[in-house]
Amino acid sequence: MVSTQSSKQQDQHDHYRRYRSRFYIIMVCIFISYASLVVGRRAFAFCKPAMLQMEDLDETNLGWITSGFYLTYAISKCFAGIIADSFSSRLFYPVCLFVSSIFCAAFAMSTQFYQLVLFWSLEGLIQGFAWPTCGKLLMHWCQSDELATWWSFLSGSSNVSGLISPILLPIIINSYGWRWCFYGTTLLLVMAAVLNFVCLVDSPIDIGLSQYDGVIQRQANVSPKNKNNEPKKNQDELDDQINWLHIVVYDPLPNFLHLSYMICTFLEKSLIDWTQLYLMQDKNYTEVSAAAAIGSFDIGGITGTLVAGYISDSLLNWRRKDRSEPLSASDRVFFTMFIAGICFIAFLILLLQPSNADMVIVHVSLFFLGCTICGIISLLGVVSMESVPASIAGRSHTVLTLFGNIGGISSGYPVSLVIKMFGWTQVIRLFTGLALVQTVFTISELTY
């Protein structure tokens, strides 16, 4: 009897060890591959100065290419989840990586403006399918009590690539030319596609470990079911789902949230895509020093995202007199208003710098811009779900993301027009004005 029980415990231990080893392998593979995708995405921003010098292009052309990417990226994300759910992640994700490498190579070999727009737009289309597939794998392989931790880990892959890009890509551009950035990304994506095809497994069920499948675990904890084996819903949840469009779109608070999120996403994408060119043309920076300044923005982005979430949670817990009282979205909005004010000040400091601006001041300004903008984006995502009934929280965040995509698209061609017609000073004034508008919107949110 003791021997049988000991043997059973040993089997359970072996199964758990198999599960954890495969789980870690899959998480590392997804992290590396998604970071590779983001390196390809960032490469275009760093190649803009070289493309202006070596190709028959101007800022307006670069704006069209940027907007084309964000437009197709937004379109593909609208139905990416449905398509990802219909196919095996082990096959679909490596195919996405491989097709992405093809478009990167085609973009690097393009010599005409329309070819650059076409292939970079196709690159945006295929990249939009990547993250929902990563999320699907995460849902299957992650146990419920560690889902948020590993979600943050995978989200950090884009920030890590944002830190590597300013160091690596300018060296490649100066040594071999801008096209080799995309040839290198092509090779990276092909290797990532092979790695994921070999190592990925759709779910623990496929290797005989069904007891560790995260989806099965979460389904075991759903609400009671009716006679048709469907989860029961109370009348309030049904009413919320019927009236979700009115709640999410027509109520004042979600509208202010959507506009704030759109402005913040616009500012984030604009700074990522245009800062290097601005520092080189207006502040007389070298290509390498301008690229390093973008690294300050990325470091600030990582810091701001983590600190904003931690401090807002801490403030909420400190302000609550009764620990059973539910968290208030308005308290987070109050903290967001404070961050938005710092964002406006950072833009104002950047605007007032002369052409021979001190590098330290510019780096500090970009660091705080990264902190504030990324921190606000993170908090607005939380507030969008806290400010509506739980039964429609997912739809609320989807609408918020749609407005963010509009901001991303607007950071391309429209910004290039302002640069061409009015110059860099007016662009920074525009950004500073939008930061002030964002602060006003946040104050308005406190009244609802």
- pLDDT digits over 391-418, tens only? 555 566 667 777 888 888 888 888 888 8
Q: Which two tokens stand for residue 70?
A: 């964000």
Ramachandran class of 98: left when φ > 0, alpha when ψ lies in -120 to 50, beta otherwise: alpha
| Better-predicted residue by pLDDT, 170 or 151 | 170
- Could you tell me the domains of the chain? 19-217 (1.20.1250.20), 236-319+326-448 (1.20.1250.20)
Q: What is the DSSP letter of 204?
A: G
Picking from 306, 28, 299, the residue whose alpha carbon sits closest to that of residue 150 is: 28
pLDDT at position 62 over 70: yes
Tokens 């021997």: give the residue: 3
Q: Which two tokens stand for residue 226?
A: 């009716």
Whole-angstrom distance, CA of residue 6 vs CA of residue 92: 41
Q: What is the pLDDT of residue 283?
A: 79
Q: What is the pLDDT of residue 105?
A: 94
* 6: Cα within 13 Å, side-chain hemisphere: 3
Per-residue pLDDT of 72-114, as tens digits, reads 888 887 777 667 777 888 899 999 999 999 999 999 999 888 9
Q: What is the pLDDT of residue 163?
A: 79
Per-residue pLDDT of 129-162, as tens digits, reads 887 788 778 777 877 666 656 766 777 777 778 7
Q: What is the pLDDT of residue 315?
A: 58
What pTM was estimated for this model as a whole? Answer: 0.71
Q: What is the pLDDT of residue 42?
A: 84
Amino acid symbol at 395: R
Whole-angstrom distance, CA of residue 165 vs CA of residue 36: 10
Confidence tier at 123 by pLDDT (50, 70, 90): very high
**Pick from 130-139, 215-224, 257-266: least confident:** 215-224
Whole-angstrom distance, CA of residue 361 vs CA of residue 350: 8
Per-residue pLDDT of 346-380, as tens digits, reads 666 666 666 666 778 888 888 888 877 877 777 77
Q: What is the pLDDT of residue 401?
A: 74
Confidence tier at 423 by pLDDT (50, 70, 90): confident
Q: What is the pLDDT of residue 417?
A: 87
Picking from 71, 188, 183, the residue whose alpha carbon sits closest to that of residue 121 is: 71
* Percent of the chain residues past pLDDT 70, beyond the cut: 67
Tokens 């640069």: give the residue: 419
Q: Please state the rounded mean pLDDT for residues 65-77.
A: 86
Q: Which two tokens stand for residue 341?
A: 């004010």
Count the neighbouring beta carbons within 10 Å of the beta carbon of residue 212. Answer: 22
* Torsion angle in degrees (nearest 10) through CA of 228, 231, 237, 241: -70
Q: Please state the rounded mean pLDDT for residues 302-321.
A: 64
Amino acid symbol at 44: F
What is the overall mean pLDDT for the chain? Answer: 75
Confidence tier at 250 by pLDDT (50, 70, 90): low
Q: Which two tokens stand for residue 294?
A: 């973008």
| Better-predicted residue by pLDDT, 347 or 127 | 127
Beta bridge partners of 225: 231
Q: What is the pLDDT of residue 321?
A: 47
Asked if residues 427 and 417 have their Cβ atoms less than 8 Å apart, the reply is no
pLDDT at position 307 over 70: yes
Whole-angstrom distance, CA of residue 147 vs CA of residue 224: 23
Q: What is the pLDDT of residue 353?
A: 61
Ramachandran class of 446: left when φ > 0, alpha when ψ lies in -120 to 50, beta otherwise: alpha
Confidence tier at 444 by pLDDT (50, 70, 90): low
